[in-house]
Every structure is written in C-alpha cells, then in structure tokens.
Structure 1
Amino acid sequence: MDLARNRLRKARYLALELLLSRLHPIRPLKILFSDEDGAKHLIQKGFSLTRHQVAFGKFTRDSVQEFDLLVPLTIADIDRLNGMRDLIVNNPLPIPSDACVRLCDDKTMFYEFLAANGFGDVTPRTDGAFTIPYLLKKRIDDTGRNSHFILS
C-alpha cells in the first residue's frame, strides 16, 4: 500500500512540476552537465518533459560561456570550473571552492573539521575499534569504488 501511495505522490508531484514549468514565464535554460555516461540517461529522462536544453560535455572556457547553467558531476569538473572562476561567477548553482572540495573529499580532514566546529559529539568516532558489521572506505575515494562491507 505504501509503495502505491508513494508512486501516486511522485506522479502528482511530477505532473504539478511539469505544469508549473510550462506556465512559468522564465525562458528555458541551456544546461551543461559533466560528460558522465552513468548519469546521462537519468538526467535526460528527468528533463525530457521540460523545455530546458540539456547537453553533456567538457567544461572549457568556450563551452562555459554558451550555457546558462553548469552542473559538474565530478570533482575533476569542479576543479576545472574553479580554474575559470571569472566565467562562473553568475552560475545559478554555486560551485564549491577547491578548499571546500578537498575538505569534503578527505574523510579524516572532514571529521576533524566537524569536531573542531562543535559537531564532535554527533559525529561517530571509532578510535580504530570497529564493531561488525561496518563499512570500510578509503580515506579519499571516488563514488565509493573501494568501499567494502565487513560482515564477519
């Protein structure tokens, strides 16, 4: 019953958003996403009923100037956009700074930052002792490629 209710709720939400996008007076956006094969299908499907123009490609000084909205999907693309801050100052989606990306990408540094800024009591500490089951991750990794569930 909950699954059917959730599907109905999602369908209503999508129908309302589609209607609002058609009635909204703002012009359609030209949106450039990172050229990531794994995400293309879902992104295209999500925008298929809108008037927005979606493209996938590399972020270059030329391509960045042709689009209204830039959506980097990888750290490498965020780094590339940070190299042209002068061109992305008006991007509707804020692009995080290099320092912010490095902080969030390094699990140990991120934990230490949280603890130093008053979040240590709500951030799990292990002190090297793990209780099974747990998730083992590399300190710096890409999309959890090297993450492992330890069950015994």
Structure 2
Amino acid sequence: MDHDLGIDLDAIYSVIENSDVFIIRFNLIDKRLLVDARTSNNELPIIKLVPKVKSAEERYLYLQRERPSMKLPEQITVFEWPRKIELMRELGVWSRINDRMVSLGGDMLQDTCDKVIAEAVRLERADLLLAIMGGDGYETLWEKDSQEII
C-alpha cells in the first residue's frame, strides 16, 4: 500500500488484471467507470462512464440491458479511487486499464479509452470549479464583497 496516498496499488492492479467486470467510484464526480472485459465472437469489451446506481441488483440490470447477449458476470468488483483522476495516469493505473482494453479489443478501443479518461478529468475539473465558485451543491465560505471585485 502506498501509505502516503492511502491507495493499495497492488490490490487495484490485481482487480484491473483479473476481474471480468469492475467499477471505479470517484471522489468528486457522480459518474462511475465501468470496465467490462468480457468478450465474445461479436462483442468487444466495454469501458465507459456510467451513472451511479442504488444497488448491486440495479447494476446487474444495467449490464443486462447494455449487453443482452452476454451472460451476467458472477461478480462485479467495485473500488473507490480516493484521489484526483489525473493521479491514475501518473501512477500507471490508467495505462494498465488502457492496455487491458486494447489487448482484448484491439486498437479501436484506444480511442474509446482516451475519450473516457478525458471526459472523467473534464467532469472532475468542472466539479472543482463549482466548488470554488460556490455552484450547485456547494456553499462558498468566504465571499469577496462585490465592490472589491470591480
């Protein structure tokens, strides 16, 4: 475990390399990263940002709707990423996810992976901006007097 970050990278790498289906919950955004590494003759693995759900049953129903020709997985592994999403890149977590998707689905999944991580980072930055500005769901603790701004 990387004690400075509170992240067990070995456990995360094991999930990425061995789980058929896993979900990553992020700290600041409501979306979840769904990675479904299962393949068939006519289906590639999928990686996408998905809405959060209220229960495991709801997630299984979601998977059933998304991939009706695939048998439901025996389990869905879920873990939380407690830091900024960009740190996934810096620590090599994202490259492991990306490499697994490309190895299973070919180069066409590279573009999908690039778009997914870019969107996750964009959503996180937008949420941070809302927090700074006191947007929806946030309250500004210290506000400048409007006369000071002018």
Normalized against structure 2, the TM-score is what?
A: 0.27
Structure (1 or 2) with the larger CA radius of gyration? 1
Larger relative contact order (CA 8 Å, sep ≥ 6): 2
Normalized against structure 1, the TM-score is what?
A: 0.27
